[in-house]
Each structure stands twice: as C-alpha cells, then as structure tokens.
Amino acid sequence: MSDHRLRGRLEHGLEAMGLELSSDQIASLLAYLSLLARWNRAYNLTAVDEPAEMVERHLIDSLSILPWLEGDRVLDAGTGAGLPGVPLAIACPDRHFILVDTNGKKVRFLRQVRRELGLDNIEPVHGRLEMIDPGEYPADDVVARALAPLPRLVGQLEGWLVRGARLLAMKGRLEQSECDSVSSGYNVDRIELEVPGTAARRCLVIVSRNE
C-alpha cells in the first residue's frame, strides 16, 4: 500500500477517535511504522507484518488510550516493539516515556527509533520489571498492552503502584472475574474502547491504589 493511502487510513482513524495530531506527528508515526516493517523482516518484532494492518492494530490501537493518560512520566511495561509507548510518545512530546522490555533485539530497535525519529522523550530500558527499581525509573502512569492477567500484572508493578502510579492495562476480551481477582487494596475501572478499523473487542482497565 502506498504511503499516501497509509496516511489516509491513519488520518481517518484519528478523526474517528476525535484526536488531532499535527502533520509532522502523523509523518513521524508513519516513519515509525516503516522502520518497524523493515526491521520486522529480519528480526520478527511483531506478528503483524502488513503495513496497512499495522496502522489499525498498532498505531490507532495504541493511541486509543491517549485521553486517559494523566502523568508526565509514563512507563510502558513489556513494550515489545514500542507499543503503545512510541505512538503515545509521538503524540505527547512533553511527556517522558520509559520503554521496558526483556528482549534485547527489541530494545536495540527502540534505540534506533529514538535516533532516526529524534524522539528524545523515549528511554528504552532492557530488563525485567521485577528487577527494575521504581525509584530509579519513577512513573505517574504505567501502560501495558496485552501483557499478563491483571492480578499478575498488579503484582509485577506493585513497586510503582504503591508510589501512586496508575496502571492502564490494554486488553482484548476480558472476563469480569479477572477484574474481581485483583487485590481489594486497588480500585479497578473498566472502559470499553472503540478502535476504528478493527472489529476485535478492546478495553482499558485502570488500576489504582485505594487511598
């Protein structure tokens, strides 16, 4: 698919979600997509390898949670190829994004993204969440895209949550029992998401400590 048609698909999705990005931001999102597609051929960074499909399943899906971000520092737990962290960082140049993953080749890719796109507000970090000091990498919001069941995720991120961070967990089909199994020390809010271009069910779960 041509760059012009990819841009049209992206702009249509942004308009459907009521998001306004500049022409330069849209160009950066498409540059990230191009870089991801190129690296994916050699390093298998994502199972989605068709650029047109990446627009909806990666870019638009990642940006669907933008209205719920609140903090200036955002940690992307298990970011993989930078999702949702990189699209959100492009959309929010005044926020700082810490992109954490255990996979070395994916972290190398993210460092290349930072260099090629000039994204000074992303900080790729190679390591396991359980081994990272929340005091060294503080965050106001923690985002996680289809990473783990909620109770396990809350346990992995407890160091940030007890310091006041909120967890924004992106999920597909989600049983209420998964929300109910989170410790009673946390508030759990579930929001159904409308992601243009995909029929798959998507939701956002926001978890925060009880005060």
What's the structural domain count of the chain?
1
Residue-level pLDDT at 183: 87
Say which residues have a Cβ less than 8 Å from residue 166's Cβ, sequence separation at least 6.
70, 71, 140, 141, 142, 206, 207, 208
- pLDDT by 10-residue block (mean), the chain, 211 residues: 84 94 97 93 84 88 96 96 97 98 96 98 96 96 91 94 96 87 92 84 93 73
| Distance from the Cα of residue 201 to its chain's centroid | 17
How high is the pLDDT of residue 159?
Answer: 95
Q: How far apart are CA 91 and CA 8, in angstroms?
A: 17
Instruction: Supply φ then ψ for residue 83, to 5 degrees.
Output: -120, 125
Strand partners, 97: 74, 122
Which phi and psi (to 5°) does residue 151 adopt? -60, -40
Structure tokens at 125: 């970090």
**What is the rounded CA–CA span in Å between residue 128 and residue 102?**
5
Q: What is the pLDDT of residue 117?
A: 97
Closest CA to 97 of 117, 120, 123, 77: 123
H or E segment and range at residue 105? helix 104-117
**pLDDT reported for residue 50:** 82
CATH code assigned at 141: 3.40.50.150
State residue 4's pLDDT score.
85
Q: Are strands 73-77 and 96-101 parallel, antiparallel or unpaired?
A: parallel
> Which run of H or of E encompasses 177?
helix 176-180
Tokens of 19: 């998001």
Q: Is the peptide bond before 84 cis (omega within 30 degrees of 0)?
A: yes
Per-residue confidence (pLDDT) for residue 2, from 0 to 100: 67
Bridge partners, 77 (sequence order): 100
Domain that holds residue 36: 3-209
| Residues recorded for the chain | 211
Q: Could you tell me which residues are beta bridge partners of residue 208?
A: 187
According to the model, what pLDDT value does residue 1 have? 56
Q: State pTM to two decimals.
A: 0.95
DSSP conformational letter for 129: G
